[in-house]
Structure 1
């Protein structure tokens, strides 16, 4: 993924993203989906912007910072 998911300006409704759900934080397993709502209010979050996917799941947009 080329978009830095830590910046809110890069995320918008309808964007296809990979997120890490709360239950998968330890393993780092990602889930694919389409952004329905942006839940993080700040312009930057070091762990990724929190979003709600169209299927109702909530997670932080995954960014490979390595």
Structure 2
């Protein structure tokens, strides 16, 4: 699944990063700031949009 995430370092600027989800890191089905995921390239952030 291709998503847009915001990395921890980009939280202030809101810069989005695109990638394909490798792992879900948030155990609950909902999180107020977004579900935390690891992308296939190893970057970790919170989902802000689903592209595919």
Give the TM-score normalised by the residue count of structure 1.
0.72
Q: What is the count of residue pairs matched by the alignment?
A: 49
Radius of gyration: which is bigger? 1
Pick the structure with more strand per residue.
2
Please list every run of 5 or more consecutive structure 1 residues that lacks an aligned counterpart in the other structure. Answer: 1-14
| RMSD of aligned alpha carbons | 0.7
Runs of 4+ in 1 over 4 A off after TM superposition: none
Larger RCO (CA under 8 A, 6+ residues apart) = 2
SS at 1:62 equivalent? strand
Give the TM-score normalised by the residue count of structure 2.
0.90
